[in-house]
Structure 1
């Protein structure tokens, strides 16, 4: 029965209407969750393409790399042919020189810098071996999210945000070319959102028409060669010639072990970031201790006394200072290594 009060009609609410409203709200929630899950799956799709694209895409171009207030530009030619990666990097500002790679062999010619100890160099940045060769589930340590489309160096790209799930690492934003998945721009960001490092192609041509002449060394000077031989062991406490690492951030596994002195160095990567640990006798050399940072790269140095022998522990990599400090403080040096240092 309907009643009218001062011209306004009222009616009794049907018992089924609250249930219908709840169903509609639930449907909206489920649809939203499904869209979020689909977006996450799309982000995972682009992550899966990232690693292979860095090696298996052939291209030439020029990119800039900014770290703190340091900005450099580099010309690059990169070819993937018959399962072999070839690459030539030529600095566009500052000192002359070039770096040429064929397969796992890297030759560096930097005449203005003198002799370069390549066996002590850990690759860093978007073209690092540690960055491009790891096939690790980075979504365990970063929250992937598609952040829209863009255009870089004339190519359509997709922007991928990777937010760090803890404070032990930095967040990243990646711009990937749509047809190949090639990384064409990247940001490393602090927990406050500040851009610490920035890489971007300013010119780019993705092409299979790269001749052998583009990978010939043209700079005159002493050539320093190095064989890339990254280790893939995932031991919970890697041991490197007399020292052990008691702690490292979850997700960072050994990625390379270049020689340093007697081999007392190891690099770790979580698939996006990398850091290296060096342990060497101080040899009466006074070195500053503590942390310094350029862009996203932290250098933390600590002195360690073992059996009346001083060692320097150095942690270098794209990790926050507090993380580098915790890694350095977890290093344990065996007495045998100390006695060996005394005998030298």
Structure 2
């Protein structure tokens, strides 16, 4: 396994992936104003207190969209300890989320968007909002259970353990604020049960429930890619995320897949020039990137699969990518 700093090309792909997804829930750019579907955050105040583990998870997912707050946090991973300033606001029916690293290189991630959908649209079938669909989708993939209360960030939190039912994904432990259901702490565990990353809120400043609505992303039709992954871990489905970006060229294909908690990004691009990656496995903080050079569509292409998943899973996905019969040799 190759360790150390990624190459320039891998850094570019990592930035694209980070700007596309946030905390395991697919981030969406602002939807068209004509989309009338909305969620009223004031409804959360009327919900009965969660009793089961799945109820706590769903309440937390909605809370993460609907509470406005400022917070300080610490992140502990393979790249060391970093402190962050976090903020979340709702402005004119859209969310604005900012994470600013307070030590080390000055890095800021910002996301503006609306509540995402669970999947691409298929005909007239309903496409639920992510928080409503994720909990049901996790059934059969993870075991959820509550493990008592603790005190974190001067608040009472209930612990939610999420254990994978196979060795194709990582486990999670969440500590959820009992007053708001906002996550105060998250531990990511690898397939051997070892801690990969710890993320913890140290100060949560007066979270306030947004007194209004947040728009849902529009229904999106799936794109016509000339390539596809023949194998994905059970439960991973394509995410309805707009991945075309000025950050990379038109001949770079990028798709996102998720099981509701774990997310992987898949990139396909021609191998040309000096900006290419060494095939093999690369370590990127708590994530891994599997790189393959494959003959696809009549030319050599670089396949990169990134995510917080076991390295063998990422390699298997990369090795399974095939060009569709009859597809043109260039990207759409």
Return the offset for 1:304.
Answer: 0.3
Secondary structure, aligned partner of 1:208:
strand
Show the counterpart of 1:270: 259
- Do residues 287 (structure 1) and 272 (structure 2) align? no
CA distance in 1, matches of 2:285, 2:320: 24
* SS, match of residue 313 in structure 2: helix
- 2:195 paired with 1:207: no
State the number of aligned residues: 257
Structure of larger gyration radius: 1
Q: 1:153 to 1:230 in 2, by over 3 A?
A: farther
- Cα distance, 1:136–1:43 mapped onto 2, change above 3 Å: closer
- Residue 119 of structure 1 is matched in structure 2 by none
* Map of 2:303 onto structure 1: 313
Q: CA deviation at 1:140?
A: 2.4
1:94-128 alpha-carbon deviations (Å, 9 max, x no partner): 23354444445xxxxxxxxxxxxxxxxxxxxxxxx
Pairwise CA RMSD of aligned residues?
3.2
Distance change in 2, residues 1:133/1:90 (3 Å): farther
- Aligned match of 1:30: none
Q: Distance in 2 between matches of 1:305 and 1:100?
A: 36
The answer to which structure, 1 or 2, has the higher relative contact order (CA under 8 A, 6+ apart) is: 2
Report the counterpart of residue 254 of structure 1 in structure 2: 238
Per-residue CA deviation, residues 28-72 of structure 1 (Å, 9 max, x unaligned), is xxxxxxxxxxxx961111112121011111211111222313332
2:14 corresponds in structure 1 to none
Equivalent-residue separation in structure 2 for 1:208 and 1:51 (angstroms): 16
Contact 1:307/1:338 (<8 A) preserved = yes
TM-score by length of 2: 0.68
Q: What residue is the counterpart of 1:301 in the other structure?
A: 291
Alignment of 1:168-179 (within 5 A): 168-179=168-179
| Structure 1 residues 1-344: aligned runs within 5 Å | 42-80=52-90, 83-96=93-106, 98-103=108-113, 135-137=134-136, 138-208=138-208, 241-255=225-239, 256-259=241-244, 260-262=248-250, 264-285=253-274, 286-294=276-284, 296-306=286-296, 309-334=299-324, 339-340=329-330
Aligned with 1:46: secondary structure? helix
